[in-house]
């Protein structure tokens, strides 16, 4: 890479940093940015379907380690 290419790259980087707006996030902005969740119309919680047991749940436990 020649000195001219390096200099142009640095100048492009500095120019892009200057031109992009820098606005740090404020705690109050964080709450406003999130969309509010729609609450269910009924007061009861929505029931999840029953979980089917995994084959690993019914597998017998075998102790591991060296056998003496």
Q: What is the pLDDT of residues 19-33, one digit of tens each?
A: 877 666 666 655 555
Q: Is 0.75 topped by the overall pTM?
A: no
Work out the pLDDT band at 6, boundaries 50, 70, 90: very high
Q: Are 14 and 20 in contact (CB under 8 A)?
A: no
Torsion sign across C-alpha atoms 46, 31, 21, 9:
negative
């Amino acid at each position: 890479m020649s000195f001219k290419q390096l200099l142009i790259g640095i100048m492009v980087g500095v120019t892009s940093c200057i031109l992009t707006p820098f606005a740090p996030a404020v705690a109050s902005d964080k709450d406003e940015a999130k969309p509010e969740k729609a609450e269910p119309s009924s007061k009861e919680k929505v029931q999840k379907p029953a979980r089917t047991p995994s084959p690993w749940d019914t597998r017998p436990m075998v102790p591991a380690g060296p056998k003496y």
